[in-house]
Amino acid sequence: MAQQKTSRLLRKASINFLLMSAALLILTAAALFIYTRTLLDNEIEEELYSQVAFIEKNIQEGNQPKSIEPILSIKRISAERLTTVRDTLMYDPRQDEVELFKELSKSANTTNGVYEIKVRTLIIESEDIFVGIIVSFLSILAIAFLIVFFINKSRNERMWKPFFTSLDKLRTFSFDTKEPIVFESSNIQEFNDLNIGLNELVTKIRGDYNNLKQFTEDVSHEAQTPLAIMQAKIENIINQNGISDTQYEELNSIQKDIKRLTQLNKRLILLAKIDNDQFANAQFIDLESLIKERVVDFKDLSENTFSVEVKPNSKIKIDTYLAEILVNNLLSNAIKYSVPKSTIHIKASSLMIEVSNTGNATLKNPEKIFERFYKEGASKKATGLGLSIVNKICTYYKFKPSYRFRESEHLHQFRIDFSG
C-alpha cells in the first residue's frame, strides 16, 4: 500500500484557512462586482432620466435647447417612439476616438410638437470609478485576511504547543531512562485528557517491559545451575570406561551444545544487567593496554595475525568489565568471519576503535548486523548476541557503532565512535 503524503498540522490548517479565505474573497468580489455594477447602472440611468426631464421641461416652457453631440441630441419627430436605454458607440471629439456611451432615448410630446431627446454619458468614466471601488475593496479585504491569517497562525501555535511538547517527549522516550515522563498541563481539556491517557499507557508499557526484563534475568540465572550440573555429569560419563566411540561422539556433541547454551545464557544475563543499570562504576581505561592484553589471549586461539595501531594516551570512560566485553566481542567477531590465516587490523584512539578483517563478500543485510540473534553464515559457534551486546554497550554510553565493507580490499570494518 502506497504511503499517504503527510504534512504538518499547523501548515495544513494554515493552507486550509488560506484556501477558504481565497474562495470567500472570490465570491465576495463577484457579489460586489454584480451589486456595484447594478447600482452604478441604476445611478447612470437615473441621471439620464433626470436630464431628459429637465430638457423636456425647458421645451415645454418654450425654450429650444440645442443638441450637443455626442452627449445630447434633440430633434423634432412626427410621432412618439418607445423609450429605450442602450449602450452605443459614438465618436467623442474630446477624445478624438470612438467611445462607449450609455444612451437614453425618450419622446417628449409638448405644446410645441413631438421631440426625440437622446442624452448620453460616457461609460468609460463610470467604469473607472467602478474599477477603483472594486480594487480598493479587494485590497482592503486582502490586507484584512492577511492580518487575520498571521494572528490566527500565532494563536494556533500557542494553542497547539502542549500537544507538540507531549509529542517531543514521546519521541525522546526510552526504556533505558528511569525518569518518568512529565507532560505539561494545558487549559484545553482535550490535551489534558490526552496527557492522562499517554501517562497511563507509558506506565503500563514500562511496567510490562520491566516485568519481561526481570523474567528474562530470572530465567537466565535459574538456568545456570542445571546447566553446570549437566555439564559435570556428562564429563563424568565421558571419563568413565566402557562407553563406545559412538556414545563418546554423541556425549561430546551434547557437551558442546550445553557450552553454547551456557554462553548464550551468560550473554543474556549481561544484557539484562546493562538494562538494569548495574554498571555505573565507569572509569578511564587505557585502550592500548586493554587491546594488547586481549590480542595476546586471542593469539593462542586463532591462526590469524593481528596488526595493532593505538595512539598514545588513548583513554575512554567506561566500566572495566564492559570495556573487556566490548573489545572481546569485536575481536571474536572478526576472527569468526575472517579468512583463515589473514591479518586482523585494529586501530584505536580516544575518539574511536576500528576492527577490520578480510572477508569474501559483503553482508546481505548490514542494517541488521547489530540486532539480537542475527547471524549470517552457518557458524554453530555464534550465538548471534556478540554484536548485539556491543550495540547495547554503545547505547548505554552513547557511543556510535557502524559497519562498512571496503569492496576493493574485501575488508569488513566495525567502528565505534566514542564521541557519539
pLDDT tens-place string over residues 207-250? 777 777 777 667 766 666 777 777 778 777 777 767 777 877 88
- How confident is the model over 328-354, as pLDDT tens digits? 888 888 888 888 888 889 998 989 999
C-alpha span between 94 and 224 (Å, rounded): 113
Residues of the chain with CATH 1.10.287.130: 189-275
Q: Which regions of the chain carry the CATH code 3.30.565.10?
A: 282-417
Does residue 325 contact residue 387 with C-beta atoms inside 8 Å?
Answer: no
Higher per-residue confidence, 17 vs 329: 329
pLDDT of residue 220: 66
Reply yes or no on whether the pLDDT at 254 is more than 70.
yes
Of 154, 186, 146, which is closest to residue 10 (Cα–Cα)? 154
Backbone angles phi, psi at 96, to 5 degrees: 60, 40
Helix (H, G, I), strand (E, B) or coil at 355: strand
Pick the CATH number of 189-275 from 1.10.287.130, 3.40.50.1000, 1.10.10.60, 3.90.330.10: 1.10.287.130
Work out the average pLDDT over 139-160: 81
The CATH architecture that domain 282-417 belongs to is 2-Layer Sandwich (3.30)
pLDDT for res 406? 76
Q: What is the pLDDT of residues 284-297, one digit of tens each?
A: 989 889 888 888 88
Model confidence at 25: pLDDT above 80: no
Q: What pLDDT shows up at residue 2? A: 46
Cis status, amide bond into 162, omega within 30 of 0: no
pLDDT exceeds cutoff 80 at 307? yes
Q: How remote is the C-alpha of 351 from its chain's centroid? A: 32
